[in-house]
Amino acid sequence: MAQVQNVSTGSAGVGTAAASAQKVTAEDTEKRFLTLLVTQMRNQDPLNPLDNAQITTQLAQLSTVSGINELNQTLQALAASFAATQTMQSAAIIGRSVMVAGSRIELSGGQALFGASLTQPVDRLTVSILDPAGKVIHQAEAGPQQAGIVALHWDGMTDAGARAKDGSYSVSITARAGGQSAAVEALAVHRVISVTPGSGGATLNLDGGGSTLFNDVKQII
């Protein structure tokens, strides 16, 4: 039972072109609207002139359309700024390890770090370590746990009393609460080796060839 324990853990150019095209379209629409309104006023019947309320309503509609276009441009600029800021912040964790969704664990020097994500408190958390062939070589109870991220580790000892070789293994985690199965997500630990910027935010490139979005990181170790 002692082998698995809790541990503490410390596209830009296209976007610019699209925004410019949108701006031109909005300006053209505004010019056409004003031209039609001026023409309408010039050719109105002197005995039945346009109602001031109608003119005010039309101008208000023009202002609303113009305001929406300006708001869209502002939001696009904010999104681009946020993505750039997130990329710079993500660069600070290059070389550090992060917890992300996954079941692959790496045993190195007789230690393997991983974790579990719980949406509710559980009475029982069962951890199974599987070898590359899918055979369970170690199983242990991690006990009751609170909701949130649970950090775990395996010391490499198998149920047969032998020490497993360093390498890749997988973990299967189940949870029960009140006699019923509870939702649990296995978390793998990977080291960040580089960061790739993108319009949707920063992508962290991980050791082993995988990657994850910065927003999908569960915990930074």
CB 154 within 8 A of CB 138: yes
State the DSSP H helix or E strand holding residue 86, giving kind and residue range, or none if neither: helix 52-91
Q: Which fold has domain 94-220?
A: Immunoglobulin-like (2.60.40)
Q: Report yes or no: 182 and 118 within 8 Å, Cβ to Cβ.
A: yes
* Per-residue pLDDT tens listing for the chain (221 residues): 445 666 544 444 444 444 454 555 656 666 776 676 667 666 655 555 555 566 667 666 666 656 666 656 665 665 556 556 666 677 888 999 999 999 999 999 999 999 999 999 999 999 999 999 999 999 999 989 999 999 999 999 999 999 999 999 999 999 999 989 999 999 999 999 998 887 767 889 999 888 988 888 999 88
- Over residues 200-210, the pLDDT tens digits come to 678 899 998 88
H or E element that contains 66 = helix 52-91
Question: Domain ranges in the chain?
Answer: 12-91, 94-220
Can you give the pTM of this predicted structure? Answer: 0.62
Alpha helix (H) residue ranges in the chain: 12-42, 52-91
CB of 130 closer than 8 Å to CB of 172: yes
Note the pLDDT tens digit of each residue in 73-91. Answer: 665 665 556 556 666 677 8
For residue 113, the cross-strand partners are 153
List Cβ neighbours of 121 (8 Å cut-off, separation of 6 or more). 144, 145, 146, 147, 177
